[in-house]
Amino acid sequence: MARSKSQRLNPLETSVFDRTDTGESTISPQIYNLMIGLVLLYGFGVNYIMVQTIDPQVIAGINPWVFFGGYFASCLAGIYLFNTSSNPLVSFVGYNMVVVPFGLIVNLVVHQYDPELVQAAIRVTALVTMLMMTLGSIFPSFFEKIAGALTLALLAVIVVEVVEIFIFGIHHGVIDWIVAGIFCGYIGYDWARANKIPYTLDNAVDSAAALYMDIINLFLRILRIMGRKK
């Protein structure tokens, strides 16, 4: 069961994963986990529909500054919404503001690979995700301890990757392996902390949103790794 303190925290002033009591009605652990799963499936379903219906050439034809400006603006606004809101509908809106721009990126990437390879990458991502969630449930304290290291590692890799691509015009495959490992850690971490906060509908949406970003980033890296090997 989720624990609460007698002193109630203001959810609008507290990050979702730091909340101990939102004042909302709690739901059972089974319903909580089910809602996380359903929200995740919704996000993946939206991305699937986008891949099937939107011509990647249309996306590629958008001015890069406009595209990436809109991408980051939508994602950051969405993250802000689901991190600060205690209203599940508002959080769900924020989730969609992340899912849609991510879907555009996924669309551009997956069309570069053979459909069978994409399906294989999806299977591998699903298996790795289930493994990391299991480990997150068994060893939550371990993932809490490495959270800071994961953040520093991710920031360092992003800087290195940007320098490699835009200054030297190269990309080392080992970076994909490192990033995949980092997001494996994030899946375990986000799942562990999702089960430490109050079991509310809003927190289920917020937790699913965090896991969604981890899983999509892991999938994109696994796809690149598998595509390079093939």
In the predicted structure, residue 15 carries a pLDDT above the cut 70: no
Write out pLDDT tens, residues 196-227. 999 999 999 999 999 999 999 999 999 999 99
Write out pLDDT tens, residues 25-57. 889 999 999 999 999 999 999 999 999 999 999
Asked if residue 14 is part of any domain, the answer here is no
Asked if residue 99 is part of any domain, the answer here is yes
Give the rounded distance of the alpha carbon of 198 from its chain centre: 20
Asked if residue 125 is part of any domain, the answer here is yes
Mean pLDDT computed over 166-178: 84
Asked if residue 147 is part of any domain, the answer here is yes
Write out pLDDT tens, residues 84-126. 999 999 999 999 999 999 999 999 999 999 999 999 999 999 9
Residue 21 confidence class, pLDDT cut points 50, 70, 90: low
In the predicted structure, residue 168 carries a pLDDT above the cut 80: no
Q: List the domain range (segments joined by +) for residue 194.
A: 25-229
In the predicted structure, residue 19 carries a pLDDT above the cut 70: no
Residue 171 confidence class, pLDDT cut points 50, 70, 90: confident
Asked if residue 8 is part of any domain, the answer here is no
d(CA 172, CA 71): 25
Work out the angle between the directed axes of helices 64-84 and 201-229 (0-180°, nearest 10).
140
* Tally of structural domains, the chain: 1
Q: C-alpha distances in angstroms, 58 versus 7, 24, 69, 71, 220?
A: 52, 43, 17, 15, 20
Asked if residue 175 is part of any domain, the answer here is yes
Prediction pTM value: 0.88
Asked if residue 182 is part of any domain, the answer here is yes
Asked if residue 204 is part of any domain, the answer here is yes
